[in-house]
Amino acid sequence: MAVMNVNPTRMQLTKLKKQLVTAVRGHKMLKDKRDELMRQFLDLIRETRDLREKVEKELKSCNYHFVNASAVMSKESLDASLMSPKQKINIEQNIKNVMSVEIPDYEYSTRTSDDGDIFPYGFAFTSFELDDAVTSLNNVLPDLIKLAQYEKSCELMSIEIEKTRRRVNSLEHVMIPRYQDTIKYISMKLEENDRSSRTRLMKVKDMLLDKAHNYSGKQA
């Protein structure tokens, strides 16, 4: 029996009963939070898996185009073509609260809205294979940013799920049973004290009646 080291008094018993009610309510709330977090986490995991498969295919296509470009262009020409990018990407991180978990929400913008600015070179001395490679890399960028957002969100949610699971287990298997055992122990102690008090009072009453009416002498 896991009993707390407290004085077995009625005041302490009332206090522990209130704490037990609070612990049971907190356990239910944390359990509901854990279950909802798990549901949203599994949904996000599925979305992340699908998006990762899509990104891997897109990156494979990008790599294919760059290999073709490197096959028809010299390394020096290829490096010079990509040395001075014209376009610039800005990424802003916002915070979204999901069941008290702060997960990132990435938004990106480009310096200009001209689609032609993704090509940092002129078209006279480059191959169309390089154009395809740069275009495919530009197309995969939004999915890459979203994948980073999803994977970071999964990491943060998994940490919170583990914390919540530990709190639920602590309340369910340690704190609540300890409160229940202590309340039972104090109740038994108080009942035992009440019986002892009643027994003493009855003995005192008998002694007083005997003294007042001399029951013992009469019986003799």
Residue pLDDT, tens place only, 118-177 = 888 887 778 888 999 999 999 999 999 999 999 999 999 999 999 999 999 999 999 999
Query: For residue range 50-97, what is the model confidence (pLDDT) as tens digits?
Result: 999 999 999 999 999 999 998 988 888 888 888 888 888 899 999 999
38 belongs to a structural domain: yes
CA distance 44 to 48: 6
46 belongs to a structural domain: yes
Domains of the chain: total: 1
Q: Which residues pair with 89 in a beta bridge?
A: 110
197 belongs to a structural domain: no
Measured in whole angstroms, the distance separating CA 80 from the mean position of its chain's CA atoms is 47
A 10 A CB-CB count for 43 gives 10
107 belongs to a structural domain: yes
H or E element, residue 110: strand 101-110
49 belongs to a structural domain: yes
And the tokens for 73?
């262009």
92 belongs to a structural domain: yes
Confidence of residue 215 (pLDDT cuts 50, 70, 90): low
H or E element, residue 90: strand 89-98
Strand, helix or coil for residue 101: strand
Domain that holds residue 143: 31-160
Q: Which residues pair with 102 in a beta bridge?
A: 97
What is the reported pLDDT for 1? 52
pTM of the model: 0.78
Whichever domain contains 86, its CATH number is: 1.10.287.3240
And the tokens for 75?
């390394």
Phi, psi (degrees; rounded to nearest 5) at 92: -115, 135
Q: Nearest-CA neighbor of 69 among 114, 18, 134, 121?
A: 134
104, 146 Cβ separation under 8 angstroms: no
What is the reported pLDDT for 102? 93
77 belongs to a structural domain: yes
103 belongs to a structural domain: yes
